[in-house]
Chain A
Amino acid sequence: MLLPLLAATTLFLAPACAVFSDEAWNIDYHFALLGAPKEDTSFFHRPNPSSKASLIYTLSEEHALGAVNPRDGSLVWRQLLASGGDAHNASFLRAGEGQDVVISGIGSEVAAWSAAEGRLVWNVHTDGPLEDVEILELSDGKETVGAKDAVALSGGDRPMVQRIDGASGAVKWQYSIDGSDAPFQLSASSTEVFAILLHKTILGYVKLRVVALDPVTGQKTDEYMLSSENELATADNIISVGANSASPVIAWTDAAHTTLKVNVVGTKSISSFSIEKHDENAIERVRMHAPYHINSLSHFLVHYETATSHWAEVYHINLKNSKVEKAYSLPRVAGRGAFSTSTADANVYFTRVTRDELSTVSSASHGILGRWSLSSFGVASGVGEQVEPVHAVSEVSVKGDTVSAIRTTVLLSTGDWVLLRDGKGIWNRPEMLASTVAVTFAMPADVVALVQQLEVEAHGNPVAAYIHRVQRHIVDLQKLPSFLVSMPKKIVQGFLGTSADDAAGSDMFGFRQIIACATRSGRLVALDAGHPDRTLWNTDVADLKPGQSWRPSLSSTKDGVIQVSSVAGTGVGYNATDGQHLAGDLPIIPDEPDLLTSRAVRYTMRGNSLEATYDWSPSWTFTPIHGERILNLVPRPVDDPVASIGKVLGDRRVLYKYLDSNIALLATAHDASSKANFYVLNTISGAIIYSNAHPDVDLTAPISTIMSENWFAYSFTSEASDATTKGHHLVIGELFESLIPDDRGAMGASSNYSTLQTASEPFTLTQTYQIPELISRLAVTRTRQGITSRQLLAVLPASNALVGIPYGILDPRRPVGRDATKDEQAEGLMRYAPVLDFDPKWYLNHQREVVGIKDVVTAPALIESTSLVFAYGLDVFGTRLSPSFSFDILGRDFNKFQMLATVAALAVATFVVAPLVMRKQVDQRWRFL
């Protein structure tokens, strides 16, 4: 009897918490996202001149550069580019025809990336922020075969144009632009490079100054000012298309959008066209689409947009006399539309995506070459919301007079990025999740409905309750036939273990919680943690104007309802299952510094001191010493159940935990001495119950903190000194009422106590570990009753990983300088080692790379052993964790076949052996007589 028990215990102790190979890829999910792609930095391109299949390249609003496979929407490679903290947020991505590199420009860095695998080829830093990057589509005989050079226009104090060698990244020439005009854009024709600058007149209008440069030498060949008169008030009205084409054009409108002016760059003549009104609404936006190739026909399309409809006009440029003529127009269609340009040899095709139709026309004539009706884009949207295309990129192949194949990627107003092949949706990428700023877990509303009905029965009078119950059962009976039908399937599935726990409709374990994500663009997106591959609903909750930001906070205090609020205050409720708006209006309150809120205590930053208000009256303030600034404050989670008030030692004695729900960890930084201080505060009295200071800390690196149960943890990066070693450190501290076992210290005798009257100070044990890499964020697992041991979750931005560190590894009670005694071993403690290497088996993301994680949220499942984890930032990653193993659920390791086979084998053995034994017994009796 002892042996199996022993075996079971060793089995429980032997492997540290790890990702099991049969659970990986099954219980976890991951969206490798890029963020919303930008229109002018997205295109189809062949990664090698020799390859037939093209990839979609994009540089997104989140500064993620990546290649997406158009076949299934999977990510081929991705690089997160540093924006350099640039305010005007310009980013460029170009690819030369037949090149195996793509060239990005962001901040002040121009970089070339190998198109097939995403590795850096070269990078160049410019003096000022980049204003434009183009590829020179010409050959001057001196450039290396295959690699086309890039030209970059940079602003700042010394604006200049640089030509960068396409093979090595060396600067071939640079031309400094004189004057105080702001650099705006680059255009290149086959013979010249044009730098377009904005010249401010005395009256406040903008004039366009064009500087023509010789592409070979970088010498100025010409310079002139375009007489844009007084119609160009701001640069926003320029709807230019620069770039490489046989005749690059620049176009602008007046502020009221009544006339369109077009200039072929390199000439001084301006063609003027009046814009016709198509409906009563004013034109809101004018966009221009033109081919990007030097040998394409010089045709372009102007796209007009009002609040309710859109239309377009196609213009031709006569190359001989540089005259612009209107060729034809595309009719007005209700709703928003997107146009994309594609080229095949010299021919140019325009593809139009509207709410319900996809059509392609040739630039030469208005005859429609292909038309497909779109029933829906196949994405989740809000109730009654019309999904509109925002912008599109197409790849068209034309045979004769019809389109034989067309692939179009469309960014939709819901934030989804979809690919349509011949009008059919192939994949969609939920790119809106890349800008998630707040997340909460919520129980589905249908699960909650039963709980509510049971409550009605419990609180009503007996007769009414009985009638209610009978009625409920009658309603339930209607589900019986479908239940019986699905029974065999369920049994087979359960038996095969294919979908025992994630069968649709049943959620006994609380794994299928709804994850609501609020995005920066003011949308609320709901995912099902059990079926994360589809979005449940996606509604616009905050009607944000362009440039407006909101700081949403999400909560689900009532089951089945998601509360959204901006900053703090009353929120708006949404049904968790279908996203129905329940009640309330969402006020968008401008930002004000406000820290976390726990229970009734609110924290506000006033200047450099932290003020705590309790029930709306000031309670205490924390003012750091001179020169110190407050980094962050982490209170103990509001919902943080603890099952045991003590720690049982190996000899069955107990160390009592210092459990106080009103404690918080505060981190401050002293920049002058590069010192970081950490304080544990009592949030009711404001008393400091523990403090620690670390010298030589790199205060520019992230300092992450966490507080849970009776322990806290923080990490920082330190410089080498006599006291510490260079690198990253993780400190863990645990608070006890007393360090003597079976003794509650000062609190032992009293039955009641108040933090305001008695000063009770905990005994704190701390331990520091040196860790191999930076931790940018800490979180902790949560379970329903807090019986399960906890895991510290750490985001590792350098490895693009999320690790779950078992608490036992970090325990500050690990014996230092000696081996663990038998009692300590029984507790699971081992000898302290100063270096804590992250075991790859702790990587919750295992082989995947989770990039740009900003925060991790955890929620308890209905069963005690399991905690749900959801990490967001750029990527979205979620999994389930069982820090003490799945003790209350049969996991995937439970082999149902093996169990049945064992039972069957035993049954067979019994039947076979029974007659043998019987015969033997009978024989024996006869023999002895």
Chain B
Amino acid sequence: MLVLKSLAVLAGTSLASAANLTVSVPSSPPLLLNPSSLAPSTHAVLIGPPGIQYEAPIRRDNTFTFPDLAEASYLLTVHSRDHFFPPLRVDVTKSVDGTQQETVQAWQTFRGNEWSNKGPFYGSGNGELRIQIQPSSQKNFYQDRGGFNIIDFVKSPMILMALVSVAFIFGMPYIMDNMDPEMKEEFDDMQKKGPLSGSSGAAAQLQNFDIAGWLAGKGSSTEQGAGDTGKKR
């Protein structure tokens, strides 16, 4: 805050040794077509060494301006209601050529990494730096429930299997009826020989399965019963 106060004094004269940073938000499709649609609460925060922090609200021309920065290494974060912005590192250092102006440099930085790990270079300027920052992603607040969808329901393998078997149950008699007699005889023979058919075959056993008896624990007698019915026939 101390630094900000000196601005008014300097306002009349030309800005001699002030380091200014201007961050603008350009149109960046497809995430943010029109930066003027950003909420007025959008703001940028520069966090310097302990105790030094600057905050700038977004301006009408889609920029954030930080006048008169002290020499330090800053973390720049932009907070917006609907978008995420990447964090930047901004360094304000004494100029190497000994002039009064300070050098402002900006890089991308990465959370969870050491501070010296710098990303892409955003730019450098003497006394003043203008950089552009683009949103990295849009905030999506809502979780949709896995609702009921008839197409998804039909697509599931269980339902597909059931549908196939239904088709067989209803379709088979028609196919059988439309078969020519010779083939039908052949098929019948095959069925009779098959392990599933016949009075003592698995199919018959399944069909005549005595649930009540089985539940009552008469495991062996069920088979007997099945055999009996077979004899009666």
Contacts and interface: CB of A to CB of B under 8 A. Distances in A.
A770 B148 CA distance: 39
A697 B115 contact: no
Interface stretch (B42-50, B97-105, B219-227): B42-50
A171 B79 contact: no
B233 A171 contact: no
Contact of A726 (B39, B47, B139, B143): B47
Nearest to B74: A726
24 contacts: A19-B141, A21-B144, A21-B145, A117-B40, A119-B40, A119-B57, A120-B57, A125-B8, A127-B8, A171-B11, A696-B50, A700-B51, A701-B53, A719-B49, A727-B87, A770-B112, A773-B77, A798-B43, A798-B45, A800-B41, A846-B142, A847-B141, A898-B148, A928-B199
Tell me the dominant secondary structure on chain B's binding face.
Answer: loop
B146 interface: yes
A224 interface: no
Contacts of B82: 847
A213 interface: no
A171 B8 contact: yes
Interface string B113-134: 1110000000000000000000
Nearest to A80: B41
Contacts of A697: 50
Contact of A120 (B60, B111, B204, B207): B60
A761 interface: no
Nearest to A893: B145
Contacts of B158: 3
Contact of A118 (B40, B81, B145, B148): B40
A426 interface: no
A696 B9 CA distance: 33
Contact of A698 (B45, B51, B141): B51
B218 interface: no
Contacts of B141: 19, 24, 840-841, 843, 846-847
Given A127-B9, A725-B114, A698 B60 contact: no
Contacts of B111: 725, 727, 770, 772, 835
A835 B50 contact: no
A315 to B, nearest CB: 39
Contacts of B8: 124-127, 171
A79 interface: yes
Contacts of A118: 40
B27 interface: no
Nearest to A902: B148
B193 interface: no
B9 to A, nearest CB: 7
Contacts of B114: 720, 725
Contacts of B145: 20-22, 893
B142 A24 contact: yes
Contact of B5 (A121, A125, A840): A125
A595 interface: no
B69 interface: no
A170 interface: yes
Nearest to A21: B142
B140 A841 contact: yes
Given A121-B59, A719-B49, A800-B41, A849 B77 contact: no
B75 A727 contact: yes
A118 B58 CA distance: 10
A798 B77 contact: yes
B37 to A, nearest CB: 10
B50 A699 contact: yes
Given A119-B58, A119-B60, A849 B81 contact: yes
A87 interface: no
Contact of B12 (A171, A674, A770, A773): A171
A120 B58 contact: yes
A849 B43 CA distance: 13
Contacts of B51: 698-700
Contacts of A674: 50
B79 A799 contact: yes
B163 interface: no
Interface string A16-48: 001111101000000000000000000000000
A895 interface: yes
B4 interface: yes
A108 interface: yes
A22 B146 CA distance: 12
B73 interface: yes
Given A125-B5, A798-B45, A928 B81 contact: no
A556 B205 CA distance: 70
A924 interface: yes
A375 to B, nearest CB: 38
A532 B75 CA distance: 40
Contacts of A800: 41, 81
